[in-house]
Structures are given as C-alpha cells and as structure tokens.
Structure 1
Amino acid sequence: MKYLASLLILFSFGTSFAQDGYLPLDQDKNIHYSDSGQPNLSKDELYKKVQEWVGKSFGNYQNAVTFEDPNAGKLRVTSYVPLIHAQFAYVRFDLTITASDNKYEAHINNLDGVSPIHSPVRLTGKENEAIAAQQVLINAENSKKKRAELEENLKIIKADNNGINTAMYNLLGSLKQFTN
C-alpha cells in the first residue's frame, strides 16, 4: 500500500511538471533535474543502498558508475534510459548522488539524445526555445491550414520534451522509492 501511494504521488508529481512541455533549466540554462530524500539511514547505510539501487537499475554497477567517493558519500552514474521521443531512442545522462546522514541529493545533467541513425545530440535550453518559437509562429499565422500544421508540430515538440521529463522523473522517483 505504501508503494502504491508513493507511485501515485510520484506519477502526479512528474505529470504536473511535464504538462507544459518545458524542460527544467538551471541558472546557466542547462537542463537540470534534482531531487532529495530523507530516509532514516546513516550516510554509510544510505550510500550502500544507493549502490544497490544503481546495480539493480542499470545492470552493471562497474559500467554505470564513473565516479565514487564513499568517504564523501558521492557517486556519479553515466548511463542511458529508454525514451519516448520522435528523434531519440535513449537519453544519456550524468546522475550525481550525494549521501549524508538521513539525506541524499540527486542531480541529473549533461543529457544527450541518442539515436541509432545519427550521433548523440546535447539537449539544452534550445528544446524549450523551440516551444516558444513555435507558439509565436502559431500566433502570427492567419491561414487555418498552416496554423493547424504548426499546432500539430507544437504538440510533437511538447510530447518529446514530456518524454524526456517522464524518463528523468521516473528515474529520480525510482531512487526515492528504493531508499525509503
């Protein structure tokens, strides 16, 4: 029951952020997701729990972890998750988790869209700018046919960004659920 309630809250949390189609940006206009949790665990217990989550979530701990410092409680994962997106099949990312007594912080950044037909593409604030630009075009268009085409394109852009948001929020939610 506890897990069901957590999943429902997580789903509504992720959905509420993803509805507008915008990706979260930091002060430097880079895509940045963050979350924190307060499990009742010591730093060492929490770090071990995070390591266990990484192994279960990404299959091979050694391949996924690119940096670890147990003394500082810090771990960085560079990996991929599948994505629902018109151009990309996966998103590659860096996930940094810092554990301390009764708390962890998780940050996801350096996202790259990965496709089997072209090189990875760094995802940036330009994904959000595409939405704003498309909305300007829609507002300026007088032709109903052209306006409908632009609106359809806007739906695709927003759906792509929502696919990225969903993948990243689900990853953070999985970590939160596993550590509680």
Structure 2
Amino acid sequence: MIGIVDHGMGNLLSVFNAFEYMGADVELCGDPRDLEDADKIVLPGVGAFPDCMKNLKELGFQEVLNRLVLEEKRPVLGICLGMQVMAEWGEEFGEHQGLGWIPGRVVRIRPEDPGLKVPHVGWNNIRYSSDSPLLKGLPESPDFYFVHSFHMECTDPAHVDAWCDYGGRVTAAVRRDNIFATQFHPEKSQDFGLKIIENFLSWH
C-alpha cells in the first residue's frame, strides 16, 4: 500500500488520482497510525514551510515518519513543499527547523535575470543524474511543472538528483538512500510525471 500523508497542506486529490491511475493501492493517511501498513510513503505539500512543519508535529506525523523512513528505511517520495521540509532548515518567514533528512537549507530563489519572476511557475526542463533510479527512462531534458518560491541548497552536491535553470541553478530533485523528492509536481506533469510515479512504485 502507498500511504499519502494527509497533514492538511497537500494537493492530495491529484496525487491520489495519479497513483491510482498507475495501478497503485493507495490510501490517504490522516492519522499517523495509518502509515504503519504502508510499504511506501508519499509526502506532498503546498504552502509555507513553517506551517507544514507545525502540522507534521502537532498531528504526530514527524515522530512516525522519522521512524519509518530513517530507521525502517521505507521508500518515501516528497513533492514540492514535501521535499523542502526534508531539509535541515528553511528560511521562509524566518529560520525554521525541518525534518533534517537531507543536509541543507531551503532558501528563496533569486534569479540573476531581473526579468524572471518569483514564484517560479510553469514548465521547465530539468537535467538529471544518469544513475537516478527514479528518473530512468526519461529523455535527456524532460520538462516538468513547477510552482515555488524557495528551493533546497544541499550541503552535499551528491544529494542533488536533478536541477533546472531559472536565472541560475535551482534544485529540482534530491535523493538520499530510500528518500527521493521533487520540487516539481509529477502529478501535474503528464507522461513524464507518471513515469516518475511508475519508477517510484517499482523502487526498492
């Protein structure tokens, strides 16, 4: 079963529908205890970093997620804000501690081209690591749908699985052990996004 974390700040229906379309047994988990039966976990998120962390703590998800992901090594897919809160720190509305799964900070996008607006909204091409198990089967420079004002700066460049150009290099996906996350929205990215979901479903 694929457990989607329902912490009150996710684009849950489109994520649920995309996984169901790919034939997955998927469940929305509004109670942390529901994740115990999940073989794999999806952590979506839309909104602000501090609000998301507050919800994860208050609803009891943080402790359960840390155990399932860090100790039991269950595969997890973060999407958009769900990726950002995997960092150690976030700088949105002040300094806030994240889950700490990926060493690094989430900082505001500052394009070198003043004509590029923030938030970064729309389709953009990515470049990705050739050895990425989650991005295998994609063309050389596929495009995905983004909606964000912040991105993750990883302490270890090896954790950056994909990036895009938006007036400078912007982290588009990260990977560490059983943890994978995308800044873009696979569930809104048509065939390329569905390919990533397919790869996640077969990922061990």
Fold similarity call, TM over 0.5: no
User: Greater helix share, 1 or 2?
Assistant: 1
State the structure with bigger RCO (CA 8 A, min sep 6), 1 or 2: 1
User: Greater strand share, 1 or 2?
Assistant: 2
- TM (norm. structure 1) is 0.28
- TM (norm. structure 2) is 0.25
